């Protein structure tokens, strides 16, 4: 009888350990700037074990419009009114990213759900150190999809997750800036807690497409925007614009 109760106690102990184990939940907030596209976001990065979720929320909100200004130059403004925002879910166990982003197809700017394999990030760690607030940070550099980034991270907060698709550094990213200064992420606040109830939700609310389709839509976005702009301009009007892909955070998708 004693053995029976002993084994029952062991089972209950193991069950409470397995099913009630607390995980460290980290929430970091960043500001994101894309100066070429004049896009400015607040980003909330949530980290829970091998999973993370980055949610982008715009700081401004205006509708898409196309018009010709007083100098005869065509102008196009593209800002999405959307309460859900762009989301990027990373899972280091399944080695995949599922994200919600916007792309242009047939003149319509719509949200899509895309799954891609977790991309390799070949960080080059440097010896330089710098202080950001209370954190001592180390420098790293990265070449990724057409851009070169200079990154500062702190091993005082040990996580390999970062905002957006970034991952793989031995500490939390504090600042990221592209070497052409067009793209910048800056850490604004951080909080941690132990929790058994937090769950990171995979992005939804959009049409599911393949990563290949998504890359095609992004690469053709300039032509799509020009078609929409020409439809609103006087007959015979001609305009010249810089490629949107020159300013996207991903300039290529290879």
Angle at 165 between CA 161 and CA 168, to 5 degrees: 40
In a domain, residue 18? The reply is no
In this prediction, residues 179-196 reach a mean pLDDT of 92
pLDDT, position 234: 66
Sequence-distant (6+) residues with CB within 8 A of 12 are none
Does 9 or 165 have the greater pLDDT score? 165
* Residue at token pair 């109830």: 197
Helix (H, G, I), strand (E, B) or coil at 159: coil
Tell whether the model's pLDDT for residue 229 goes beyond 90. Answer: no
In a domain, residue 229? The reply is yes
For 217, list phi and psi in degrees, rounded to 5: -60, -45
Q: Find the range with the poorest average confidence among 85-89, 170-174, 178-182, 238-242.
A: 238-242
Query: pLDDT-derived band of residue 113, with 50, 70 and 90 as boundaries?
Result: very high
In a domain, residue 242? The reply is yes
Buried b (16+ CB within 10 A) or exposed e, 149-176: bbbbbbeebebbbbbbbbbbbebbbbbb
Which residues are paired to 185 by β-bridges? 32, 176
Tell whether the model's pLDDT for residue 174 goes beyond 90. Answer: yes
In a domain, residue 28? The reply is yes
In this prediction, residues 12-38 reach a mean pLDDT of 74
Residue pair 225/104 in contact (Cβ under 8 Å)? The answer is yes
CATH number at residue 197: 2.50.20.10
Query: pLDDT-derived band of residue 83, with 50, 70 and 90 as boundaries?
Result: confident
In a domain, residue 81? The reply is yes
Tell whether the model's pLDDT for residue 117 goes beyond 90. Answer: yes
In this prediction, residues 143-155 reach a mean pLDDT of 97
How high is the mean pLDDT of the chain?
82
pLDDT, position 219: 82
Tell whether the model's pLDDT for residue 3 goes beyond 80. Answer: no
HEC sequence for 185-232: EEEEEEEEEEECCCCCCCCCCCEEECHHHHHHHHHCHHHHHHHHHHCC
In a domain, residue 86? The reply is yes
Does 189 or 76 have the greater pLDDT score? 189
Q: Find the range with the poorest average confidence among 40-44, 114-118, 172-176, 215-219.
A: 215-219
Tell whether the model's pLDDT for residue 111 goes beyond 50. Answer: yes
Tell whether the model's pLDDT for residue 180 goes beyond 80. Answer: yes
Alpha-carbon distance of 189 to 61, in angstroms, equals 23
In a domain, residue 9? The reply is no
Query: pLDDT-derived band of residue 16, with 50, 70 and 90 as boundaries?
Result: very low
DSSP secondary structure letter of residue 167: B
Tell whether the model's pLDDT for residue 54 goes beyond 70. Answer: yes
Q: Which range of residues forms the domain containing residue 203?
A: 24-246
CA-based nearest residue to 51, from 17, 74, 25: 25
Per cent of the chain over pLDDT 70 is 73
Tell whether the model's pLDDT for residue 132 goes beyond 70. Answer: yes
pLDDT tens-digit profile of 190-219? Answer: 998 887 788 999 999 999 999 999 999 888
Question: 209: number of CA atoms within 13 Å, CB side?
Answer: 19
In a domain, residue 2? The reply is no
**Number of domains observed in the structure of the chain:** 1
């Amino acid at each position: 009888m004693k053995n029976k109760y002993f084994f029952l106690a062991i089972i209950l102990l193991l069950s409470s350990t397995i099913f009630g184990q607390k995980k460290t939940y980290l929430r970091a907030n960043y500001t994101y700037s894309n100066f070429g596209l004049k896009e400015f976001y607040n980003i909330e990065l949530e980290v829970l074990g091998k999973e993370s979720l980055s949610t982008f929320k715009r700081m401004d909100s205006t509708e898409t419009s196309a018009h010709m200004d007083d100098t005869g130059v065509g102008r196009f403004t593209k800002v999405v009114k959307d309460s859900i925002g762009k989301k990027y879910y990373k899972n280091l166990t399944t080695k995949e990213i599922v994200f919600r982003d916007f792309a242009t197809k047939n003149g319509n700017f719509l949200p899509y759900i895309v799954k891609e394999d977790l991309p390799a990030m070949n960080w080059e760690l440097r010896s330089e150190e710098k202080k950001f607030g209370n954190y001592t940070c180390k420098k790293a550099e990265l070449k990724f999809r057409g851009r070169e980034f200079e990154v500062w991270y702190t091993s005082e907060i040990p996580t390999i997750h970062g905002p957006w698709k970034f991952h793989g550094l031995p500490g939390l990213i504090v600042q990221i800036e592209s070497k052409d200064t067009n793209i910048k992420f800056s850490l604004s606040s951080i909080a941690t807690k132990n929790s058994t109830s937090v769950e990171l939700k995979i992005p939804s609310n959009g049409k599911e497409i393949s990563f290949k389709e998504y890359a095609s839509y992004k690469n053709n976005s300039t032509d799509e925007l020009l078609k929409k702009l020409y439809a609103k301009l006087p007959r015979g009007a001609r305009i010249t614009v810089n490629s949107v892909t020159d300013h996207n955070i991903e300039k290529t998708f290879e």
